[in-house]
A = this chain, B = another copy of it.
Amino acid sequence: MSKTFSGNFFEDFRVGQTIRHATPRTITTGDVALYNGLFGARFAVQSSDAFARSIGYPRAPIDDLLVFHIVFGKTVPDISLNAVANLGYANCRFLAPVYPGDTISAVSDVIGLRENSNRKTGIVFVRTTGSKDDGTRVLEYVRWVMVHKRSADAAAPAEHIPRLPTSLDVNLLGDACPPLDAKAYDNVLAGSPYRFDDYEIGEKIDHIDGVTVEEAEHQIATRLYQNTARIHFNQFNEGQGRFGRRLVYGGHVISLARALSFNGLANAFQIAAINGGRHVAPLFAGNTVFAWSEILAKTHVPGREDVGALRVRTVATKDKPCADFPLKVGQDDDPAVILDLDYWVLIPR
């Protein structure tokens, strides 16, 4: 019997199944440095222990998206090694701050299954939870992914489509943020005078800058997360495949867009939740990524005077500046759009 694991196929999943994923990971300041080198994040809270301490953190926390990518990466060998496409995320919440030295592992529950009519593929819905070694849950999210069947003839598991909220309960947005001293938060060091009250619903922000992606960069990033999805690394195979080249990990686009969003959202220091996201089109090395954001909603976080939450839609494009705020909703819309992400950020009041 082969020792090599070729991943699960659609017919291998069952609703209710729990999968503990391999390779726990201790996150270090080394991971932070490499993440900074790859994305150039500039949010003061994550960049400076001194700044973080001045407002109430014990030290600079790990960037939320680095935690997300590391948890996500662990799920790939079990969930999406035989994926056709990653279809979406929903209901993603950051539950506790993560600091250098914390060890993170991941568990997924299969919460839905639906075979496609061609019988060759099916959609797998999983809820994944990332936890620290002491049991503290740091992240949970739902994703759904289209997975190959090993055989079209195989019996499909019973269909079950989970109900997913389109936005999150605002009572739950502050869990990963300790109580802060918003007065001690230094706008100048943080890079922007704009706080919660300065943003208006419907306001659109062009983040202006663009960043060109290199093969080495997305490969190094994706390996840093121990994400083994083959399509990102293997030019020999992909050269003969659908796109003729390696595909950039979708999470890479999210991190690039988040780093670009600093210019306009510098005080939105923490992602509290991701309502949903779509990778509208693929990104390849050589493309230049731009982004713009819209403020979809604002809310006070119940019981908190220190931070409020902005619901932000960030759209990323390739090889197209975003001065005219391009969108792709229907098929006729702008083909340059690659990401459409709906999420909540915390920002000092």
| Separation of A199 and B194 alpha carbons in the complex (Å) | 56
A39-B212 in contact given A30-B33, A34-B33, A47-B25 (Cβ < 8 Å): no
A235-B286 in contact given A3-B205, A25-B47 (Cβ < 8 Å): yes
Q: Are B50 and A133 in contact (CB under 8 A)?
A: yes
A20-B210 in contact given A5-B263, A26-B48, A29-B29 (Cβ < 8 Å): no
Interface string of A48-72 (1 = CB under 8 A from B): 1111000000001000000000000
- Find chain B residues with CB under 8 A from A44 CB: 22-24
| Separation of A81 and B126 alpha carbons in the complex (Å) | 44
- Find chain B residues with CB under 8 A from A146 CB: none
A22, closest chain B residue (CB): B191
The 19 sampled A-B contact pairs (Cβ below 8 Å) are A2-B264, A5-B263, A22-B189, A23-B190, A24-B44, A24-B48, A24-B51, A28-B32, A29-B29, A29-B30, A34-B37, A37-B221, A37-B224, A209-B228, A210-B233, A210-B234, A211-B233, A215-B216, A217-B220
Interface residue ranges, A against B (CB under 8 Å): 2-6, 20, 22-26, 28-34, 36-44, 47-51, 60, 77, 101, 103, 105, 133, 188-192, 194, 198-199, 203, 205-212, 214-217, 219-224, 226, 228, 230, 233-237, 246, 263-266, 286, 288, 290, 319-321
